[in-house]
Structure 1
Amino acid sequence: MKKYFQEFKYNFNLAMPVILGMVGHTLVSVVDNIFVGQLGSAELAAVSLGNSFVFIGMSIGIGFSTAITPIVAEFDSQNDTEGGRSAFQNGLILCTILGFGLFFLLFGMKPILSYMNQPEEVVRLAIPFLDIVGFSLVPLVVFQAYKQFADGMSQTKYSMYATIIGNIINVVINVVLVFGLWFFPKLGIVGSAIGTLIARVFMVIYMHYILSKNEKFKPFFVGFGLKSFQKSVADRIIKIGIPSSMQMFFEVALFTGAIWLCGMIGTTSQAANQIALSLASLTFMFAMGLSVTAMIRVANHKGLDDYKKLNTVAHSIFLMAIIVEIVFALLFMFCNEFFPQFFVNKEMALTGKEVIEVLSISSKLLIIAAFFQISDGIQVVVLGALRGMQDVKIPMYLTFIAYWLIGFPISIYLGKFTSLKAEGVWIGLLAGLTAAAIMLYFRFRFLLKNHR
């Protein structure tokens, strides 16, 4: 254990900016939910429904962009600036194309909302929200290309700064546009969507400016533009990026399915699900930060062909994730009735009966979320280590089995055909995440054994 603990300080220093940046990413939607929650349960459910589509696009875009990090990190460990520059610039081109593609895909999927057995008022409110937040996927995926490049260079602080400032912008715009303060119009959830879009555009501008002006990164911006496209490099990114995007898609789609299932159960169940999901997503970002750390450090040692050190580093990060998630699990258990109160306004937004029902359901969901914190943390950090080893195809199949052959069928059965309802849906999530954690860890051990 001593050799693992010795790695904690370096892991922490590398992970903390990533974690803060990830938390900032999630706070954009959490802030939206808090402000919209003051308007009513229908508005909160509409944001949940709209975001369920956007999250699918985000999972594909963010998952694809992660291919940039291990490739850049491997070149960085070998001091190969030309290779790193090519990986960054080709990754940025691909992410820009993908961002626009995802927006047009979501725009074309809007008619599906009317056939999802969701409340009519919720669908009506969700459509304009989806248009604007859907377009924000373009700057978000472009930002991810810059972020993953900087992460691969072990410079994780810049994306943290971008997301912190982006969150401040989002909060200010939410305050004035959701409620119509000063001379601004009252736009409700549309105002919240505008805040998200503007914040994400700023984040791209900031990342390009700060990196291109930094002496360390200037060589990577030489020949910047479409002329830098190289098919061989793009093919390598795509080979890693597509399975990585599918891995993230399978998990996010599982939670999206949970949103839809809870919507079929009722508006209050959907609103409660969104509250619990917002809180669980916030704590999950800590594990995601450690996952990025695992990806960077594992890729570094892979580039040096030092698998003994790779093993030590990876397991030190796994241990950190377990410790952190146990703390969050205990926090969810002891504060399961306290946290949900931030998302509803008892005086203005909901009837007394709705308040009681939403708070009751969400508090029960947080108890289940407490248990899957550990499984969720393990599966995502192991997945990061596997991406660092550029092993993505087999993990893609494993995550599909865990989430869609194990987790979601349990969610459907317990949620739709038993009295557990929303709690049953979340028990299915717990089963899927636990299965993923076990299978991915055994895959990692198998790869290490073959490199001894």
Structure 2
Amino acid sequence: MNDSRSISNRSLLFNEFKAFLTLALPLAGVQLSQAAIGFVDTLMMGRIGLETLAAGGLAALTFSVFVYTTSGILMGVSPIVATAYGAGDKPQIERVVQQGCLLVIGLAVPISFGIANFDILMRNLGQAETTVVLGNTYLDIMVWGFFPALGFALLRSVVSAMSHTRIVMSIAIGGTIINIIGDYVLGFGKFGFPKLGIAGLAVASIFTLWVMFLSLLGYILTHKELKTYRFFRQIYRVDRQIIASLIRVGVPIGIATALEIGLFTIVTYLMGLLGTEVLAAHQVVLQTVAITFMVPLAMSYAATIRVGQEIGQNNRVGAIRAGYVGVAIGLGFMLLMAAILLLFPDRIIGIFLDLQDPRNANVVPLATGIMTIAAISQILDGPQKIIMGALYGLQDTRIPAILSFVAFWGIGLTIGYWLGFHTSLGGSGLWLGQSIGIAISAVMFFWRFHHLVSRKHQ
């Protein structure tokens, strides 16, 4: 009897591993593709000129903050659709997507206006006039890509929640290729096209965003299963109850996203106060972990979907299993990444800096020290992000946002600032503070998930 139960448990675990990876691997491809777009754009800006790199980097970061924060709000669609999909509630899925479309329009219009006039804020923040002019040139074009960026984020959440992730990965990879080619052709004036510089990079980006959005929309409208859903009928009708649910679930996710992006932005500015060499070392490590972190970020989306689907089937045990299987896979991946960062720091740093250049002599040891802290931090950072995704699958978003603020801003940033500016640790101290905040957030998120599933399982 015990043997048969053990075999059954192993079979359930194997099935969950398979279901989780089926979702997570394509989503990881999406996140890595999007990270590659930002990386290539930065390289292209640097090749055009130093002023373009400074202004374009600031403008691109500004646009990304708006997109990621607003997309976080739209992520409220994912757990609600996943739960309805697990329950087989087709009308509810249709209503949620219809109201999600209205939410996209409601968010895109005012925020686009803000992006178009962001040069006013840049001047008030004391940016150089050249930076303001070039940055505004980029943003005035990019504003036309804000709607398709949000539309793609919404549709990606919907089809992913319904376990259609491979198409999203294919479209994202295709978009990356289009963007790279467009940057090269329009930015540098190749194949008979005029050399548009930073404006060309922006044009290539909005073209890519529209292609990705329309491609995913076309897939939904033509897919054998998805085209049976009336996603876009009577889209003008407002369902206040569903809109309220989307806002209740999504706004805390958007706030948590803004807090996370804001923390890295603040730490980067603090690194600059410690000196150019410290800032350069920080950027090397930050760019490295930003790439590796894309995988657990994708796993967190998969955890949201898997937990939501199990909740929709009223399977609390399955939801617990989905959450912890995701964490186990994420932990294994981040242990591997940490080992690579610890074993080959010079090779990784050498991708960004010439190790033989005497001008980098002081930067390399600084980056190596920060890399060691970041590697150890990654071991907890991946699992804490995945367990947060599991909480989102339970539609628990408000408390995690509060816990994020306490752990990262209240504890991590405070400790990091003290270690960075009141001890000899400098940049390593700031990273150590961040790592302490990550450790505390991981403990709190695990406690929160265990508390909720145990209480609901009783």
Query: If the length of structure 1 is used for normalisation, what is the TM-score?
Result: 0.89
| CA-CA distance at 1:85 after TM superposition | 0.8
Do the aligned partners of residues 262 and 77 (structure 1) sit closer, same or farther apart at CA in structure 2, a change above 3 Å counting?
Answer: same
Equivalent position to 2:374, from 364, 369, 373: 369
Structure 2 CA distance for aligned equivalents of residues 353 and 359 of structure 1: 10
Are the equivalent residues in 1 in contact too, given 2:95–2:231 (CA < 8 A)?
A: no
Are the equivalent residues in 2 in contact too, given 1:265–1:421 (CA < 8 A)?
A: yes
Are the equivalent residues in 2 in contact too, given 1:295–1:385 (CA < 8 A)?
A: yes
| CA-CA distance at 1:206 after TM superposition | 0.7
* 1:137 alignment counterpart: 146
- The CA deviation string for residues 132-185 of structure 1, in whole angstroms up to 9 with x for no partner, is 445533321111000000011111112111111110011112222343434334
Equivalent position to 2:219, from 200, 205, 210: 210
Worse-superposed segment, 324-333 or 121-130? 121-130
Equivalent position to 1:167, from 158, 165, 176: 176
Q: How many residues are paired up? A: 448
Do the aligned partners of residues 106 and 251 (structure 1) sit closer, same or farther apart at CA in structure 2, a change above 3 Å counting?
Answer: same
CA RMSD across the alignment: 2.9
Structure 1 CA distance for aligned equivalents of residues 339 and 394 of structure 2: 33
Structure 1 CA distance for aligned equivalents of residues 52 and 278 of structure 2: 14
Equivalent position to 1:194, from 183, 203, 220: 203
Structure 1 CA distance for aligned equivalents of residues 311 and 389 of structure 2: 13
Are the equivalent residues in 1 in contact too, given 2:221–2:227 (CA < 8 A)?
A: yes
The residue identity in structure 2 corresponding to 1:409 is T
Worse-superposed segment, 145-154 or 125-134? 125-134
- The CA deviation string for residues 236-265 of structure 1, in whole angstroms up to 9 with x for no partner, is 111111111112111111112123333444
Equivalent position to 1:150, from 134, 150, 159: 159
* 1:387 alignment counterpart: 392
Worse-superposed segment, 191-200 or 376-385? 191-200
Quick check: 1:61 aligned with 2:66?
no
* 2:193 alignment counterpart: 184
Are the equivalent residues in 1 in contact too, given 2:101–2:235 (CA < 8 A)?
A: no
Are the equivalent residues in 1 in contact too, given 2:407–2:441 (CA < 8 A)?
A: yes
Equivalent position to 2:255, from 238, 241, 246: 246
The residue identity in structure 1 corresponding to 2:316 is Y
Do the aligned partners of residues 322 and 335 (structure 1) sit closer, same or farther apart at CA in structure 2, a change above 3 Å counting?
Answer: same
- Indicate the SS of the match to 1:242: helix
* 1:397 alignment counterpart: 402
Structure 2 CA distance for aligned equivalents of residues 369 and 178 of structure 1: 35
The residue identity in structure 2 corresponding to 1:394 is I
Do the aligned partners of residues 411 and 47 (structure 1) sit closer, same or farther apart at CA in structure 2, a change above 3 Å counting?
Answer: farther
Quick check: 1:81 aligned with 2:90?
yes
Do the aligned partners of residues 102 and 346 (structure 1) sit closer, same or farther apart at CA in structure 2, a change above 3 Å counting?
Answer: farther
* 2:318 alignment counterpart: 309
Are the equivalent residues in 2 in contact too, given 1:244–1:396 (CA < 8 A)?
A: yes
The residue identity in structure 1 corresponding to 2:339 is L
Worse-superposed segment, 69-78 or 144-153? 69-78
Q: Which has the higher contact order (CA 8 A, sep 6+)?
A: 1
The residue identity in structure 1 corresponding to 2:202 is A
Are the equivalent residues in 1 in contact too, given 2:98–2:232 (CA < 8 A)?
A: no
Worse-superposed segment, 440-449 or 32-41? 32-41
The residue identity in structure 1 corresponding to 2:62 is F
Structure 1 CA distance for aligned equivalents of residues 275 and 215 of structure 2: 41
* 2:100 alignment counterpart: 91
Worse-superposed segment, 216-225 or 264-273? 264-273
**Tell me, which stretches of 5 or more residues in structure 2 are unaligned?**
1-9
| CA-CA distance at 1:100 after TM superposition | 3.4
Structure 1 CA distance for aligned equivalents of residues 189 and 418 of structure 2: 43
Are the equivalent residues in 1 in contact too, given 2:28–2:294 (CA < 8 A)?
A: yes
| CA-CA distance at 1:442 after TM superposition | 0.7
Worse-superposed segment, 311-320 or 401-410? 401-410
| CA-CA distance at 1:95 after TM superposition | 2.1
| CA-CA distance at 1:222 after TM superposition | 5.2
- The CA deviation string for residues 196-219 of structure 1, in whole angstroms up to 9 with x for no partner, is 222112111111111111121112
Are the equivalent residues in 2 in contact too, given 1:118–1:264 (CA < 8 A)?
A: no
Question: For residues 319-398 of structure 1, what are the structure 2 equivalents within 5 Å?
Answer: 319-343=328-352, 361-398=366-403
Quick check: 1:102 aligned with 2:111?
yes
| CA-CA distance at 1:314 after TM superposition | 1.2
Are the equivalent residues in 1 in contact too, given 2:69–2:257 (CA < 8 A)?
A: yes
Structure 1 CA distance for aligned equivalents of residues 279 and 135 of structure 2: 14
- Indicate the SS of the match to 2:345: coil
Are the equivalent residues in 2 in contact too, given 1:49–1:259 (CA < 8 A)?
A: no
The residue identity in structure 1 corresponding to 2:169 is M
- Indicate the SS of the match to 1:155: coil
Worse-superposed segment, 82-91 or 195-204? 195-204
Quick check: 1:447 aligned with 2:452?
yes
- Indicate the SS of the match to 1:227: coil
- Indicate the SS of the match to 2:251: helix
Equivalent position to 1:276, from 278, 285, 300: 285
Structure 2 CA distance for aligned equivalents of residues 179 and 13 of structure 1: 40
Are the equivalent residues in 2 in contact too, given 1:41–1:271 (CA < 8 A)?
A: no
- Percent of aligned positions that are identical: 27
Are the equivalent residues in 2 in contact too, given 1:37–1:345 (CA < 8 A)?
A: no
**Tell me, which stretches of 5 or more residues in structure 1 are unaligned?**
none
Higher Rg: 2
- The CA deviation string for residues 55-88 of structure 1, in whole angstroms up to 9 with x for no partner, is 3313321211211111111111121111101111
- The CA deviation string for residues 276-315 of structure 1, in whole angstroms up to 9 with x for no partner, is 3332222111111211111111111111221112111211
- Indicate the SS of the match to 1:226: coil
Query: If the length of structure 2 is used for normalisation, what is the TM-score?
Result: 0.88
Quick check: 1:8 aligned with 2:17?
yes
The residue identity in structure 2 corresponding to 1:431 is I
* 2:442 alignment counterpart: 437
* 2:36 alignment counterpart: 27
Structure 2 CA distance for aligned equivalents of residues 10 and 77 of structure 1: 13
